[in-house]
Amino acid sequence: MVLIVGHAVAGDCRLLAPTREREVLASFLKKTGYTSRQVSVVLKFADGRAQAWRSIPLNKQGRFCGAKAIGASIYWCVPSSLTRLLQSSLIGIHEQVTEPSVLKFYGVKQLTQGETIAGAAVSMCQLTAIDIFAQH
């Protein structure tokens, strides 16, 4: 068993493939009711977090798994984290965000609540991965 972003997984963390896990996340978002535009925004945000592992100093477990697998674990983690967040949300995923600082953080002119909730799930997964795999 290997711990990957807060989840116990049977097998080897190095088997996580970014492309496959990204496709699974995209499919999950679509099944959850996210529009194609929303999926694109969420994936762009997740891509940035997954690719950041190329420049993050890794600890022993991080070096064992490798930056690509750790990045893939970000995509892999989001569906379960997002499910929990959506269950506790009282806001619809298609409502628009109008707060300028939030729009600036995501680097977009339009944003929905669903995108910010998914972004929070991505951030939760990234922070957990940092705790597990980054050199402290």
Q: What is the pLDDT of residue 32?
A: 95
Least reliable range by pLDDT among 1-5, 41-45, 81-85 = 1-5
Q: Is the pLDDT of residue 107 over 50?
A: yes
Token pair, residue 125, equals: 């997964």
Rounded distance between C-alpha atoms, residue 3 and residue 25, angstroms: 19
Q: Is the pLDDT of residue 4 over 60?
A: no
Q: Percentage of the chain surpassing pLDDT 90? A: 74
**How do strand 7-9 and strand 2-4 relate by DSSP bridges?**
antiparallel
Least reliable range by pLDDT among 22-31, 42-51, 63-72, 86-95 = 86-95
pLDDT in tens, 65-106: 999 999 999 999 999 999 999 998 878 899 999 888 988 888
Q: Residues 75, 122, 54, 36: is their CA dihedral positive or negative?
A: positive
Three-class SS state of 87: helix
Q: What is the pTM of this model?
A: 0.87
Rounded distance between C-alpha atoms, residue 119 and residue 92, angstroms: 15
Instruction: Characterize 66-83 residue by residue with b for buried, 16 or more Cβ atoms within 10 angstroms of its Cβ, and e for exposed.
Output: bbbbbbbbbbbbbbebbe
- Tell me the average pLDDT across 112-123: 95
Contact 133, 66 (CB under 8 A): no
Q: Percentage of the chain surpassing pLDDT 70? A: 92
Contact 53, 89 (CB under 8 A): no
Q: What is the pLDDT of residue 109?
A: 86
Cβ-based neighbour number of residue 114 at 10 Å: 26
Q: What is the pLDDT of residue 10?
A: 41
